[in-house]
Amino acid sequence: MKYPLSRPDITRKEIDAVRRVLESGRLSLGPQLAEFEKQLANVAARKEAIATSSGTAALHLIMRALDIRAGDEVITSPLSFIASTNCIEYVGAKPVFVDVLEETACIDPAAIEQMITSRTKAILAVDAYGFPAEYRELRRIAREHELYLIEDSAEALGAAYEGKPCGSFGDASVYAFYANKPITTAEGGAVLVNDPGLARRVRSLLNQGRELTDDGWGERHEELGYNYRLSDVHSAIGREQLNRFETIRKRRRQIIRWYQEAITRLEVPVTVPSPYELDDPSIFSFVTRLPSPGLQEAVTRALARDGVQSRSYFYPIHLQPWYRKKYGYRDGMFPRAESWGASALALPLYSGLTKKDVGYIAGCLKLALADESIQARIR
């Protein structure tokens, strides 16, 4: 495909950094990891960042570190990547879905309080598409009901809410660094916290539940842990990505602006979600909403013929076969999440795109939507 959905922004700097680590003989738990964590804490405005082997691992560690377990409930959004709900299942707790806001695709604070029971332990908010959730209201609810607030900012590095970075709002928050995320370490993630006790617990759990000693290799295992470590090789990539973060962020914002302009200029009949108008918008992906539900497949096929990759994103979690089967969820239960799921289409977003490329992609989208068979299905 000439225009893939995403392509990592890797330069000589990342390649040289990886080579240096490989030549150093110290591939794990070394100086790159410690420095990467410092840089991450800094961009997230946090006291501590703990790097992990994936975003999913980071979410699982938070569940364990907050002692969320069987019998507990966690209120969350069904419009997300499946990992944000799977982590609740990993510890035997029950995800309780509430619908999202039409404007932001994030959890609707007004729908939360009626779902709180004596078993509720936490609210897990997701910055869907990298759009910030309503943290002012979410924090108020969490405080009033003595619940933890967990923030899945896996897609939201580089976005801000009321002037503060996404990743800074939860009792614990998560970033992820898979190859399609705003910055990448190939695979990787991080837990972001301010509480030193919580940070220590996460650090121990990710290294087999070891007691924390200066060299990191204590012999006593205090509890059942995991190997969710991030290697120094991966950390070196992350450091270089963060060194270039302002450049990457500016470039991705510019491309999003070009998309907005091209869609307006060409009168492409799609809706651009309003969070792209924020001062520090999401740089994760560029999603538009098609004029009717159920057009995604046909549009994706038409765009592919023009060399443009696109995809519908997200498929609501309550409608995933595993969750349907376990909890008996049906279509229509969370209509706004389902409406996003049936109309959102992600378009290519990566540093290498030029203004001309973006104009071409927007033009292809307009043509695809003008097709008779699609026009007939627009209600």
Ligand X SMILES: *Cc1c(COP(=O)(O)O)cnc(C)c1O
Other Cβ atoms closer than 10 A to 47:
12
Compute the distance between CA of residue 107 and CA of residue 316 in angstroms, rounded to an integer: 13
Q: In DSSP terms, which residues pair with 37 in a beta bridge?
A: none
Sheet of 311-312: strand order equals 286-289, 344-347, 311-312
Least CB distance to ligand X at residue 105 (A): 11
Is there a contact between 201 and 181 (Cβ–Cβ < 8 Å)?
Answer: no
> Does a cis peptide bond (omega within 30 degrees of 0) precede residue 81?
no
User: CA separation (Å) from 271 to 221, 274, 286, 343?
Assistant: 53, 9, 12, 10
Least CB distance to ligand X at residue 219 (A): 30
Least CB distance to ligand X at residue 18 (A): 19
Q: Which residues form the interface with ligand X (CB under 6 A)? A: 54-56, 80-81, 83-84, 126, 152, 154-155, 176, 178, 189
| The two structure tokens encoding residue 197 | 């006790």
Least CB distance to ligand X at residue 32 (A): 19
Least CB distance to ligand X at residue 176 (A): 3
Select 58 or 198, whichever has its Cβ closest to ligand X.
58
Select 49 or 126, whichever has its Cβ closest to ligand X.
126
Least CB distance to ligand X at residue 143 (A): 24
Least CB distance to ligand X at residue 217 (A): 26
Is there a contact between 309 and 6 (Cβ–Cβ < 8 Å)?
Answer: no
Select 202 or 368, whichever has its Cβ closest to ligand X.
202
Compute the distance between CA of residue 6 and CA of residue 14 in angstroms, rounded to an integer: 18
* DSSP 3-state of 274: helix
What are residue 116's phi and psi, to 5 degrees? -75, 130
| The two structure tokens encoding residue 207 | 């290294």
Select 81 or 131, whichever has its Cβ closest to ligand X.
81
Select 78 or 302, whichever has its Cβ closest to ligand X.
78
Select 7 or 377, whichever has its Cβ closest to ligand X.
7
Least CB distance to ligand X at residue 56 (A): 3
Least CB distance to ligand X at residue 248 (A): 17
Select 79 or 302, whichever has its Cβ closest to ligand X.
79
Least CB distance to ligand X at residue 50 (A): 14
Select 126 or 191, whichever has its Cβ closest to ligand X.
126
Rounded to whole angstroms, the maximal C-alpha distance in the chain is: 68
- Counted residue by residue, the chain has a size of 379
Compute the distance between CA of residue 252 and CA of residue 157 in angstroms, rounded to an integer: 12
Query: Which candidate, 197, 187, 159, places its Cα nearest to that of 44?
Result: 159
Query: Which candidate, 172, 192, 174, places its Cα nearest to that of 49?
Result: 192
Select 189 or 348, whichever has its Cβ closest to ligand X.
189
Per-residue three-class SS string for 26-73: CCECCHHHHHHHHHHHHHCCCCEEEEECCHHHHHHHHHHHCCCCCCCE
Select 87 or 369, whichever has its Cβ closest to ligand X.
87
Residue nearest to ligand X (CB): 55
